[in-house]
Amino acid sequence: MITRRAALGTALALLATPALAFPDRTITLATGFAPGGSTDVTARLLADRLGPALGTGGRVVVENRPGAAGIIASDWLRRQPPDGYTLMLVEASSHALAPAAVQGGTRYDVMADFTHIAIVGTGPMILVTQPGFPERSVQDVVARLRAAPPDTLPFASSGVASMPHLSAEMLASVIGQGGKFTHAPYRSGGLMVESIARGETQWGVAVLASAAGQVRDGRVRGVAVTGLERFPSFPDIPTLNEGALPGFDLENWFAVIGPPGMPAPIVEQVNQAVRTAIAESALRERLLVAGVAPWTRPNTPADATAFFRTELAKFRQVVDRTGVKLEP
């Protein structure tokens, strides 16, 4: 029989025992895409510096959980323990585009079902064609797409409801070819770009970080980026906005999130580690070379939550304006 005095002694002993420091074991940083694409590249660059930024117990490994442009992995994440040992690098595809554009929406609520921790960076999309594509300038490529008979110029994407999928459909809609191009979805941006390089598909609008290496190597031709300004590491590649499609503006982004209900001290610790990592000059340079502009604006967990809310509203406006709807 446990006496009152013994119970009190046990309680006091538990209170006196110091809490285990976080982290004291390996942290998983999941992604919703296969290796080789923009999310995977960004996650691995971040994980390499995030572990040391978390302290002596910090070790971060990347786990790829591809499927449905990050939607499957996001649904999995919301059911994981909120202890900080399972995080995810997400992008606009799964946490702004899909809830706005996929018919029937997603099983998860972007604002209610996750802990928003920190923004990592942003980057434009890039219109790429296979090297043998006859037209070269952005104006001529857009004119060729505009005049093409239905189903004659198949395009690739990194999956149904991904940013590359929406970007290509938006481009097609703007030039009056909505729904007229055959869509070939792949499991990552890397596989998508490879399909264009091999000539399996003719073109696509890739996340710049997925296509950067192949563009530099000449395996695919970078025609134009989708932001309003040229990207610093590719100053010779024009924007769609410069003449072919004035006002065309679409960017991807990357952020670290966790399951719902993570303890505030752990959220703050991971947030600070992300901010420390992306402030390092070596990582910033590697991200820029990969096609990701590191985040420089306010970046507290509250800022991240506000960012997700704004982006979700923005993509809903884009979908309403263009009329693009994606099958789940």
200-251 per-position pLDDT tens digit: 999 999 999 889 999 999 999 999 999 999 999 999 999 999 979 999 988 9
Q: How far apart are CA 91 and CA 284, in angstroms?
A: 18
Q: Same CATH topology for 22-122+252-322 and 124-242?
A: yes
CA 261 from centroid of its chain's CA atoms? 22
What average pLDDT does this structure show over 126-152? Answer: 95
In the chain, what are the domain boundaries?
A: 22-122+252-322, 124-242
CA 239 from centroid of its chain's CA atoms? 21
CA dihedral 103, 77, 191, 277 (to 10 degrees): 120
- Predicted pLDDT of residue 328: 62
Structure tokens at 280: 């390092």
CA distances from residue 216 to 12, 21, 300 in whole angstroms, order as listed? 63, 44, 35
The pLDDT mean for the chain works out to 90
pTM recorded for the entire structure: 0.86
What architecture is domain 22-122+252-322?
Answer: 3-Layer(aba) Sandwich (3.40)
Q: Is the pLDDT of residue 298 over 70?
A: yes
Is the distance from CB of 310 to CB of 110 less than 8 angstroms?
no
Q: Is the pLDDT of residue 5 over 80?
A: no
Q: What is the pLDDT of residues 67-124, one digit of tens each?
A: 888 999 999 999 999 999 999 999 999 999 999 888 888 999 999 999 999 999 999 9
Task: Provide CATH code, domain 124-242.
Answer: 3.40.190.10
